[in-house]
Structure 1
Amino acid sequence: MIERAAAADAGEILTLQRAAYVAEAQLYGDPFIPPLVESLEQIRKIIDTAIVLKALDAGRIVGAVRGQLSGTTCRVGRLVVAPDRQGQGLGTALLRALHEQVPEAEAFDLFTGHLSDGNLRLYRRLGYRETSRERMDDHLTLVHLRRTTDRPPPQR
């Protein structure tokens, strides 16, 4: 089941986020990536100001994603799935649910690291296409991707 997160979910989402991003930190040799140093208060604020969806299984939060509408573009962030539930379609379900939650968005933008092959496969499978690369330092290049909607732009 996927539903909107509430402020009371912030602690569990933070714990899930940290568990999910440990592998990314190891992949890039950086224990200080933003998802691992984000605070509980920052997550509460995001829940209050953005669309944060959570995937539940028997009352446990096993996945989450956030989206922030900026004009007609939804910026997607922090797609996380519990390590013991990865590879079961939860990431796909969360992203599809976010796409449905923001019908006014004409595009969805996100980024991931260049070594994150599983993430890149998932995003491409869901219609995201690479738009640019941004070298952050010697060990990290961010890959920016965009998914556009199939409907025509609104009449002005």
Structure 2
Amino acid sequence: MHNVHIKSLLGLAMLMTISACGGGGGGEGGSTSSSSPSSTVESATRLADIKIDPNNSLTSIYEVDIDVSLPHLATSQVYISVCDNSGDGIESIDYDNCLLKAALQSGAGSYQLRVPNHCESLIAVVNVMEPNTSPLVYTLNHNNQAETTWLIQ
């Protein structure tokens, strides 16, 4: 009894596979396509046709030197996160994808970041681990500079 059901299921699966592949070869009664292969392929752009602004260095990153100096927090436990600010500020930060997460030492820190060009704005969130203390928020807008110094104080 079970062999009959298994054979029926195998036969049905083979029939579905054959019909899903489009059936037989391209003779009479075979399937035809209304578009030719050349009409569905987009034309390629030649390298000579690409125009690049002479001021574009074609680099995909920029560098940011971050210097943090918050002496009023020297005795507190403090953490900094630097993230892409493409959202709506602190509410939309994805802390799992930040460029930097670190503890400040005596309210200070120095960091060098290589930032992808698509990050046009950065946000730094400084969290003080004390009750009823709101985070400090700083932003930096990238102005197409290869190197930037960001002083957070």
TM-score, scaled relative to structure 2: 0.21
Larger radius of gyration, structure 1 or 2? 2
Identify the structure with the greater helix proportion. Answer: 1
Relative contact order, higher structure (CA 8 A, sep 6+): 2
| TM-score normalised to structure 1 length | 0.21
